[in-house]
C-alpha cells in the first residue's frame, strides 16, 4: 500500500470505530432505559409421604422453566459485542497510522488521542473478562467516543517525522504507561461518579431497594471498592510514567525536572491520587469524599492531557496539533 492508501485506511478505521461506538452507546443506553426485571418466586411443589403412621411434608421448588432475557440484557450484550468490534477496528487504525508514519503512532496529540481511546476500551474490556461489566459500558463508550471526536475534528494532523527530543526509546516506555493510565483513570472516574449517584439514591431510598436505571448498577460500596482497586493498580504505573518522563527529560534537555507545565500537572495528578489512597486508609475520608478525590484527580489528568498541550506554551508543545 502507498502512503496515501495507508493514511486513508487508518482514517477510515477510526471513523468506522466512531460509528460502531455510537451504535454501542445507543445499545447500552437502551439497556438502562428498559430497567431491571423483577424475578418472581419459584412455585413450590408439596410432596406428602406417609410411612408407619407418620406424615412427612416436603416442599420442593418446581424446576424452573426457561427464563427469557431480562429487558435490556439483549441490548447490553449487543453493546458489549460492538465494543469489542470497535476495539479491534481502532487497533487497526492505530497500527496503520504507525506503519504510515514509520514509527510508533503517538508522536502528536492526534495520535496520542486515538491511542488513548484505544487504552480506555482496552482496559475496560480486559477487566470485563470473567466479570459482568455490561452496566459500565455506557460510561466507558462515551469518553472514548468523545476522545475520538476531539481527535478527528480538532487535533488531526498529518504524520510527520519526530523532533529530535522525541527520538528516543523512552517515547515507547513513557507514553505506553501514560496510555494505560489514561484508560484506567477514566474507568476509575466512571465508577467513582456512579458511586456518588448510587450513594445519594440509597440514602433517599432509606434502606429500600433502589429502582430505575440505578438498579442495574452495583451498590455504592461495591463501586467504591472497584474504584479503589483500579487506582491501587494504576497509581504505581503513573508513578513509573512520571519517573520515566523525568529520565527522558534528562536525556533530551539535560535536566530531570524543570517545572514545565506538563511536568507540573503530571505531579499534581500524582499528588491527588496519592491523597486518595491516603484518604481510603482514613476512616473519615472514605465513601463519597474519597470518590470526589478520584474525580478531581481525573480532572487534573485531563488538564495535563488536553489543556497543557493545546493552550499553554511549554517544552511539550511539539506534541500539539
Residue 51 inside a domain? The answer is: no
From 237, 313, 230, 222, select the one nearest 277 (Cα to Cα). Answer: 230
> Do residues 242 and 138 share a domain?
no
- Per-residue pLDDT at 40: 40
Provide long-range contacts, Cβ within 8 A and 24+ apart, for 221-227. 223/191, 223/192, 223/194, 223/195, 223/198, 224/191, 224/192, 224/195, 224/286, 224/287, 224/290, 224/291, 226/191, 227/188, 227/191, 227/192, 227/195, 227/290, 227/291, 227/294
Domain end, chosen from 100, 126, 161, is at 161
> Do residues 124 and 7 share a domain?
yes
Please list the residues that pair with 55 across neighbouring strands: 50
> Do residues 131 and 23 share a domain?
yes
> Do residues 280 and 156 share a domain?
no
CA distances to 95, 96, 179, 210 from 111, rounded to whole Å, are 11, 11, 11, 42
Spatial distance between the Cα atoms of 301 and 186, rounded to a whole number of angstroms: 9
- Per-residue pLDDT at 53: 55
CB 127 within 8 A of CB 187: yes
**Strand intervals (E) in 5-120:** 44-51, 54-61
- Per-residue pLDDT at 191: 95
* Mean pLDDT in consecutive groups of 10 residues from the start of the chain, 321 residues: 84 96 95 62 48 52 50 87 97 93 85 93 94 92 95 84 71 89 95 92 77 81 93 95 89 80 90 91 78 95 82 58 50
Spatial distance between the Cα atoms of 294 and 316, rounded to a whole number of angstroms: 26
CATH assignment at residue 120:
1.20.120
CB 118 within 8 A of CB 90: yes
> Do residues 126 and 269 share a domain?
no
Torsion sign, CA atoms 200, 80, 31, 25: positive
Residue 124 inside a domain? The answer is: yes
> Do residues 5 and 154 share a domain?
yes
CA distances to 197, 292, 295 from 214, rounded to whole Å, are 8, 19, 20
Spacing of C-alpha 201 from chain mean position? 23
Spatial distance between the Cα atoms of 58 and 60, rounded to a whole number of angstroms: 6
Give Dmax over CA atoms of the chain in angstroms: 97
Total number of domains in the chain: 2
- What angle do helix axes 170-205 and 109-128 make, rounded to 10 degrees? 50
For the entire predicted model, the pTM comes to 0.83
Q: Which residue has the cell 486508609?
A: 281
- Residue range of the domain that includes 119: 1-35+70-161
> Do residues 283 and 224 share a domain?
yes
Spatial distance between the Cα atoms of 18 and 317, rounded to a whole number of angstroms: 27
CB 233 within 8 A of CB 184: yes
Torsion sign, CA atoms 291, 296, 300, 302: positive
Amino acid at each position: 500500500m502507498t502512503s496515501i492508501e495507508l493514511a486513508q485506511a487508518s482514517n477510515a478505521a477510526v471513523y468506522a470505530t466512531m460509528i460502531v461506538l455510537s451504535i454501542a452507546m445507543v445499545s447500552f443506553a437502551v439497556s438502562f432505559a428498559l430497567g431491571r426485571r423483577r424475578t418472581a418466586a419459584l412455585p413450590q411443589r408439596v410432596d406428602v409421604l406417609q410411612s408407619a403412621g407418620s406424615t412427612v411434608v416436603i416442599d420442593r421448588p418446581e424446576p424452573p422453566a426457561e427464563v427469557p432475557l431480562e429487558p435490556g440484557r439483549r441490548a447490553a450484550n449487543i453493546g458489549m459485542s460492538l465494543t469489542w468490534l470497535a476495539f479491534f477496528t481502532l487497533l487497526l487504525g492505530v497500527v496503520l497510522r504507525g506503519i504510515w508514519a514509520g514509527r510508533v503512532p503517538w508522536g502528536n496529540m492526534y495520535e496520542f488521542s486515538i491511542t488513548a481511546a484505544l487504552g480506555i476500551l482496552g482496559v475496560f474490556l480486559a477487566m470485563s473478562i470473567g466479570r459482568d461489566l455490561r452496566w459500565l459500558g455506557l460510561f466507558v463508550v462515551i469518553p472514548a467516543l468523545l476522545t475520538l471526536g476531539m481527535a478527528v475534528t480538532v487535533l488531526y494532523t498529518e504524520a510527520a517525522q519526530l523532533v529530535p527530543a522525541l527520538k528516543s526509546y523512552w517515547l515507547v516506555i513513557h507514553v505506553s504507561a501514560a496510555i494505560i493510565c489514561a484508560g484506567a483513570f477514566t474507568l476509575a472516574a466512571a465508577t467513582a461518579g456512579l458511586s456518588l449517584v448510587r450513594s445519594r439514591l440509597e440514602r433517599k431510598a432509606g434502606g429500600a431497594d433502589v429502582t430505575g436505571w440505578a438498579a442495574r448498577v452495583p451498590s455504592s460500596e461495591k463501586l467504591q471498592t472497584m474504584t479503589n482497586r483500579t487506582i491501587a493498580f494504576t497509581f504505581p504505573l503513573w508513578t513509573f510514567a512520571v519517573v520515566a518522563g523525568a529520565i527522558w527529560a534528562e536525556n533530551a534537555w539535560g535536566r530531570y525536572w524543570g517545572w514545565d507545565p506538563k511536568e507540573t500537572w503530571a505531579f499534581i495528578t500524582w499528588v491527588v491520587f496519592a491523597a486518595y489512597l491516603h484518604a481510603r486508609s482514613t476512616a473519615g475520608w472514605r465513601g463519597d469524599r474519597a470518590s470526589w478525590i478520584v474525580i478531581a484527580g481525573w480532572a487534573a489528568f485531563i488538564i495535563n492531557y488536553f489543556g497543557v498541550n493545546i493552550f499553554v506554551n511549554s517544552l511539550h508543545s511539539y506534541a500539539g496539533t
